[in-house]
Amino acid sequence: MNISTQAVQIGLEWDTRTGAVSVPIYQTATFRHPGLGQSTGYDYSRSGNPTRQSLEDGMARLDNGARGFAYSSGMAAIANLLLLFRSGDHLVVTEDLYGGTCRLFDKVFNQFGLTFSYVDTSDVEAVRAALTPRTRAVFAESLTNPLLKFADIPALSTLCRDRDLLLIVDNTFLTPYLLRPLDLGADIAVYSASKYLAGHNDTIAGLVVVKDAELAERVYYHQNAAGAVLGPQDSWLVMRGIKTLGVRMDRQQENAAKIAGWLKNHPAIAKVYYPGLEDHPGHALVKRDSRGFGAMIAFEVATHALVEQVLLKTRLISFAESLGGVESLITFPEVQTHADIPLELRARLGINNTLLRLSVGIEDNNDLIEDLNQALEA
């Protein structure tokens, strides 16, 4: 089936007893045993819950993986994956990644002996040069946050496979609808499901899909042991969001392409980052590997004074963190989402005091352009 059809059908097969089209919310902490030494397959909701499992199974199918796992947030999902490693292990990671991930690496897991090297994961040779005898994995964002660089996952996969390293891909910006990292050679795909997958800015969740069944068992062990699982109500919300993933992303991409072209020609805009533009460095690669260019845009305004003007003068576009929902959101990465990245690294990457990040929603694109225009010219 086409992935948009798979997304709509998520959970539909679950309740064979009643035929309920919507997966029931099993709001229970524990399950009664039918007899001594017997189980229905569910014992305690931390270890497994039918609503959560419906989401996990459906996500595994969407990403062509052996098994899926749902967590209380995207950061909880990444933290759980780091439990696969030991003190002294080294990971090569995307340099312009989400600031919260950087904080988790450098301020939390670094104190337990894990070390991280930040490189441009769109440059395979840079990744190769950063590998050490202690390297155990490469952690890349398929499309980086906020500068929208694109990772060559097949090339990174070959590099990792030759050295027996794990390749973990944060695919939040593209989702399985546009890109399936496991099909391109990644071992693990991870998502902030709060974003495009849930799609309505109404829940916090994280998802992981693992390609290999044996590795998936290790991930499950840590999920159950650490316990940062997604509750049944939020699991249901994510499934409901995934059902409209295809139509939402089609509309959001259409809007983003039009807005990016308009921004590029506006005199108050110094630079536009959008992989759908032909002059974007990763345009050809995204076109080769992905079904689309996504709906995130980063752009630099001509002066720092315009930053506050745009953030406070937009009427339709909300000045808020997060992304991927049906409502358009705009944020200032330097002081919000990426404040935890060291100043010198932000400066080198171009996360500066004129850079704004726009998450394009499903509103009419002419209304969004008019909103941006009146804010820039206020």
Alpha carbons 102 and 73: distance in angstroms, whole number? 16
Is the CB of residue 59 less than 8 Å from the CB of residue 207? yes
Reported as half-sphere exposure (CB side, CA atoms, 13 A), residue 318 has a value of 13
Quick one: pLDDT at residue 19? 86
Alpha carbons 190 and 77: distance in angstroms, whole number? 7
Quick one: pLDDT at residue 244? 98
Alpha carbons 109 and 137: distance in angstroms, whole number? 15
Alpha carbons 42 and 32: distance in angstroms, whole number? 9
Give helix then strand counts, H and E, for the chain: 14, 12
pLDDT tens per residue, range 240-277: 999 999 999 999 999 999 999 999 999 999 999 999 99
Alpha carbons 235 and 240: distance in angstroms, whole number? 9
> What tokens appear for 50 in the block?
């039918």
| All domains of the chain in start order, with CATH | 3-240 (3.40.640.10), 245-377 (3.90.1150.10)
**pLDDT category, 362, cuts 50, 70, 90?**
very high
Q: Is 271 a catalytic residue?
A: no
> What tokens appear for 164 in the block?
């027996």
Alpha carbons 130 and 107: distance in angstroms, whole number? 21
- Give the residue-averaged pLDDT of 311-340: 91
> What tokens appear for 213 in the block?
């069944």
Q: Is 170 a catalytic residue?
A: yes
Q: What percent of the chain has pLDDT over 70?
A: 99
pLDDT tens per residue, range 89-108: 999 999 988 889 999 999 99
Quick one: pLDDT at residue 344? 76
Tell me: pLDDT of 56 over 80: yes
pTM over cut 0.75: yes
Strand order through the sheet with 296-301: 269-273, 296-301, 355-359, 329-331, 318-319
First to last CA, the chain: 49
Quick one: pLDDT at residue 338? 73
Quickly count: other Cβ atoms within 10 Å of residue 329's Cβ: 20
> What tokens appear for 2 in the block?
């086409």
Quick one: pLDDT at residue 285? 97
pLDDT tens per residue, range 116-154: 999 999 999 999 999 999 999 999 999 998 899 999 999
Q: Is 89 a catalytic residue?
A: no
Q: Is 46 a catalytic residue?
A: yes
Quick one: pLDDT at residue 45? 96
Tell me: pLDDT of 349 over 90: no
- Out of 71, 98, 196, 273, which one is annotated catalytic? 98
pLDDT tens per residue, range 192-225: 999 999 999 999 999 999 999 999 999 999 999 9
Quick one: pLDDT at residue 87? 98
Q: How far from chain centre, in Å, is Cα 69?
A: 14
Which residue has better confidence, 174 or 336?
174
CA torsion sign, 125 to 127 to 132 to 135? negative
Is the CB of residue 310 less than 8 Å from the CB of residue 372? yes
Angle at 198 between CA 213 and CA 339, to 5 degrees: 95
Quick one: pLDDT at residue 336? 74
Tell me: pLDDT of 347 over 90: no
Q: What percent of the chain has pLDDT over 90?
A: 89
> What tokens appear for 343 in the block?
């100043």
Strands, E assignment, the chain? 67-71, 90-94, 115-119, 135-141, 166-170, 188-192, 206-210, 269-273, 296-301, 318-319, 329-331, 355-359
Question: Which one of 17-26, 33-42, 248-257, 350-359 scores highest in mean pLDDT?
Answer: 248-257
The DSSP result for 270-335, as a single string, is EEEE-TTSTTSTTHHHHHHH-S---SEEEEEESSTHHHHHHHHH-SSSEE-S---SSS-EEE-TTT
**pLDDT category, 335, cuts 50, 70, 90?**
confident
Among the residue ranges 233-237, 311-315, 339-343, 374-378, the one predicted with the least confidence is: 339-343
Among the residue ranges 231-235, 317-321, 350-354, 359-363, the one predicted with the least confidence is: 350-354
Residues 6+ apart with CB under 8 A from 241: 197, 198, 199, 200, 203
